[in-house]
Amino acid sequence: MTSTASDLDGAPDPVPPELDLSRVPVHVGCVMDGNGRWANARGLPRTEGHAAGEAALLDVVNGALEIGIKWITLYAFSTENWRRPTDEVRFLMNFNQSLLMRRRDELNEKGVQIRFAGRRDWRVPRRVLRRMDESIALTKNNSRMVMTMAFNYGGRAEIVDAVRALVAEGIAPDKVDERAIRRHLYFPDMPDPDLVIRTSGETRISNFLLWEIAYSELIFPDTLWPDMRRRHLYQAVVEFQQRVRRFGAVTS
């Protein structure tokens, strides 16, 4: 059965006993996909699906806090999403801005540090950039969890930006190595995601954290993002804990 935003009014899903709290992923990335299909299935405009994604986002972040995940990165708008109809793009810009206004105080009180990964180019309205900066400033000293919104984010753009920064520094070719590139990613202190969850059954990456996901475990639940709740996060973590990560080596 599908759930709705009103789920949030009930008791939050309990942590399943099979989830090992001593081995939770440090960093979880989420590609929040399926909002449009969720709305279509209900005869609603696509934008209603984005709006319904807010409850999912909050519940997942609260679930992540509950089990002690230290880093969460949420893909909110890709460098390719500008290709969508103007009205939808405009809605997404305003929605992300208003979501921040509504939620930043409660996130702040819970000890969440808010960050944004992506390009601050001319297409992002100034008022949205202002809200982003306010949220960053408000929460910058929090350390319980870092929540990064990937907004106007593209993995290729991030690598291009890193290379540009290296070239601007005048780096010698033999000094270009993985460490040098990593130093110039948007957040050099961010650990690579251990787990990436993409909702809606699509099994692709769509330009999310390309450099950082080299060895991430990938999970693709069929759940559409607006239906996503912390129990789905917990299920994904349980599945993650059953995987064997070899990083190219051999395990006995």
- Considering the complex, state which of residue 131 and residue 184 has its C-beta at the smaller distance from ligand IPE: 131
The size of the interface with Mg ion (CB under 5 A), counted in residues, is 1
> HEC states along 146-179?
EEEEEEEECHHHHHHHHHHHHHHCCCCHHHCCHH
SS3 66: helix
Q: Which two tokens stand for residue 178?
A: 């993985």
Q: Which residues lie near ligand IPE (CB under 6 A)?
A: 31-37, 75-78, 81, 92, 200, 202, 204, 206
DSSP per-residue codes, 173-235: GGG-SHHHHHHTSS-TTSPPPSEEEE-TT----TTSSTTTTTT-EEE--S--GGG--HHHHHH
- Considering the complex, state which of residue 78 and residue 235 has its C-beta at the smaller distance from ligand IPE: 78
Q: Catalytic: 40?
A: no
The answer to whether 57 and 100 are in contact (CB under 8 A) is no
Please tell me which residue in 35, 62, 81, 207 is annotated as part of the active site: 81
224 binds Mg ion (CB under 5 A): no
Please tell me which residue in 33, 59, 194, 227 is annotated as part of the active site: 33
Q: What is the rounded CA–CA span in Å between residue 238 and residue 205? A: 21
Q: Which two tokens stand for residue 31?
A: 């590609």
**Which residue minimizes CB distance to ligand IPE?**
36
199 binds Mg ion (CB under 5 A): no
Please name the helix (run of DSSP H) or strand (run of DSSP E) that holds residue 247, with its range, or none: none
Single out the residue of 87, 86, 85, 99 nearest to residue 32, CA to CA.
99
DSSP per-residue codes, 115-136: EEES---TTS-HHHHHHHHHHH
- Considering the complex, state which of residue 24 and residue 97 has its C-beta at the smaller distance from ligand IPE: 97
Q: Which does 234 bind (CB under 5 to 8 A by kind): ligand IPE, Mg ion, none?
A: none
- Considering the complex, state which of residue 73 and residue 200 has its C-beta at the smaller distance from ligand IPE: 200
- Considering the complex, state which of residue 32 and residue 132 has its C-beta at the smaller distance from ligand IPE: 32
Using CB under 5 A, which of 24, 27, 32, 33 touches Mg ion?
33
Q: Which does 75 bind (CB under 5 to 8 A by kind): ligand IPE, Mg ion, none?
A: ligand IPE
**What's the closest the beta carbon of residue 7 comes to Mg ion, in angstroms?**
22
Q: Catalytic: 207?
A: no
Binding site for Mg ion (CB under 5 A): 33
Residues annotated as part of the active site: 33, 81
